[in-house]
């Protein structure tokens, strides 16, 4: 089964003369366990697609199957429940709950789902993400890079089919950004979840196996990154300039 399969997705904002078509007959397929970067000019609709795939926004047309289920047909409540298990989300600004500890933040989606969080899984993820010993801290007592690692652990905890990450390194300095990239590469090898990573940075995109370019409402090209930021940069300019 595909981790994600979007077919004929359309989404516009505004009405009448002010209507802006952002996604037009947009298709994208992500295999189970794949690592795909999504690039495109500012305003091309990358965040719009991620929000649609997470069931946080309604599509005007088309289907987006995540783990085999069409999120575009779900009610808000059903999409919220679905997301807790099947789609992890990571945003630029971390979105952690400041009053909860690191450990509580990571298990929150599963706890909200009424399940008991697996302590062995939690300890393993804390270790993998370099957060061992920090599980009782609050987000305010962490660096930006550490906060983003908590958000990634939260997204991965339930082993979702796909992790949707919107510019997860956008608020980090070069060193912390590098750390998150190396981590995502490593996690993609050892975890089951596929990753869809939105970024403007070719160095970050080159951590993924493939890169897709969004232009004029659709995926205009899809290439292997070969782990090479210079190649990603060149392909971006070829497709999106
Ligand atoms: N709630 C909204 N109402 C009206 N227009 C919106 C809304 N959200 C986004 N848009 C418009 O839709 C287009 C796509 O926005 P989106 O945020 O998906 O782009 P993006 O590719 O993520 O850009 P960036 O790289 O700057 O984050 C933009 O033109 C934006 O102005
Ligand atoms: Mg965006």
Which option is the CATH number for 4-97+144-240: 3.40.50.620, 3.40.50.300, 3.30.70.20, 3.40.50.970?
Answer: 3.40.50.300
Radius of gyration of the chain (CA): 17
Q: Quick check: 187 and 127 in contact, CB under 8 A?
A: no
Residue 237 CA to residue 224 CA, distance in Å, equals 15
Beta-carbon contacts of 50 under 8 Å, excluding residues fewer than 6 positions away, are 38, 89, 164, 166, 196, 198
Share the mean pLDDT of the chain: 95
Q: Give the residue extent of every domain in the chain.
A: 4-97+144-240
Looking at the CA of 12, name the nearest ligand: 1
What is this structure's pTM?
0.96
Q: What is the pLDDT of residues 96-143, one digit of tens each?
A: 999 999 999 999 999 998 989 999 999 999 999 999 999 999 999 999
Q: Is 40 in the pocket of ligand 1 (CB under 6 A)?
A: yes
DSSP-based three-state secondary structure for 103: helix
- For residue 162, the CA-to-ligand 1 centroid distance in Å is 22
Q: Is 15 exposed, middle or buried (0-12, 13-18, 19+ CB in 10 A)?
A: exposed
State the helix-helix crossing angle for 102-112 and 119-128, rounded to 10 degrees. Answer: 130
């Amino acid at each position: 089964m595909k981790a994600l399969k979007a077919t004929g997705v359309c989404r516009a904002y505004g009405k009448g003369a002010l209507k802006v078509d952002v996604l037009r007959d947009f298709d994208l397929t992500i295999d189970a366990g794949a690592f795909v970067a999504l690039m495109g000019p500012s305003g091309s609709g990358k965040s719009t697609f991620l929000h649609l795939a997470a069931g946080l926004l309604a599509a005007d047309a088309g289907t987006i199957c995540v783990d085999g289920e069409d999120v575009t047909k779900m009610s808000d409540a059903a999409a919220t429940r679905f997301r807790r298990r099947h789609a992890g989300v990571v945003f630029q600004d971390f979105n952690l709950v400041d009053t909860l500890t690191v450990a509580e933040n990571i298990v929150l989606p599963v706890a909200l789902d009424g399940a008991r969080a697996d302590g062995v899984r939690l300890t393993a993820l804390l270790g993998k993400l370099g957060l061992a010993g920090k599980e009782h801290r609050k987000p305010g007592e962490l660096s930006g890079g550490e906060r983003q690692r908590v958000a990634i652990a939260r997204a991965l905890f339930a082993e979702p089919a796909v992790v949707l990450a919107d510019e997860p390194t956008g608020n980090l300095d070069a060193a912390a950004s590098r750390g998150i990239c190396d981590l995502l590469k490593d996690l993609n090898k050892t975890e089951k979840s596929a990753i869809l990573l939105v970024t403007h940075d070719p160095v970050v995109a080159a951590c993924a196996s493939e890169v897709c370019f969004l232009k004029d409402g659709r995926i205009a090209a899809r290439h292997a990154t070969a782990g090479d930021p210079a190649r990603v940069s060149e392909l971006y300019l070829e497709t999106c300039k």
